[in-house]
Amino acid sequence: MAAPERDPLTGYSTTGHEWDGIKELTTPIPHWWVTVFLGSCLVALLYMWLFPSFATTTGVFKGTLGWTSEGQLAEEMAAGRAAQAEWRRQLADTPLDEVERQPDLRRFAIAGGRAAFNENCAPCHGVGAGGQIGQFPALVDDDWLWGGSLAAIQQTVRFGIRSGHEETRDSMMPAFGEMLSAGEIDSIADYVLTLSDPSAAASRARLPGAELYAANCSACHGAAGEGGRDFGAPRLDDAIWLYGGSKQAIRQQIATPRMGMMPAFAGKLDDDTLRMLALYVHSLGGGER
Please report, as ranges, the residues that interact with another protein according to CB under 8 A: 100, 103, 106, 126-128, 130-131, 138, 140-143, 196, 235, 238-240, 283, 285-286, 289
- For 158-187, letters b (16+ CB in 10 Å) and e give bbbbbbebeebbeeebeebeeebeeebbbb
Q: Which is nearer to another protein, 202 or 239 (CB)?
A: 239
Q: How far is the CB of 40 from another protein (least distance, A)?
A: 27
Q: CB of 25 within 8 A of CB of 37? A: no
Nearer to another protein, 140 or 212 (CB): 140
Q: How far is the CB of 60 from another protein (least distance, A)?
A: 38
What are the residues whose beta carbons fall under 8 Å from the beta carbon of 210, sequence distance 6 or more? 191, 204
Based on DSSP, count helices (H) and strands (E) in the chain, helices before strands. 11, 2
H or E element, residue 203: none
Q: State how far the Cα of 147 lies from the Cα of 149, in Å rounded to an integer.
A: 6
Judged by beta carbon, residue 176 or residue 241, the one nearer another protein is: 241
Q: How far is the CB of 162 from another protein (least distance, A)?
A: 23
Q: What is the DSSP letter of 176?
A: G
Between 122 and 255, CB nearer to another protein: 122
Q: Rounded to the nearest whole angstrom, what is the least distance from the CB of residue 138 to another protein in the complex?
A: 7
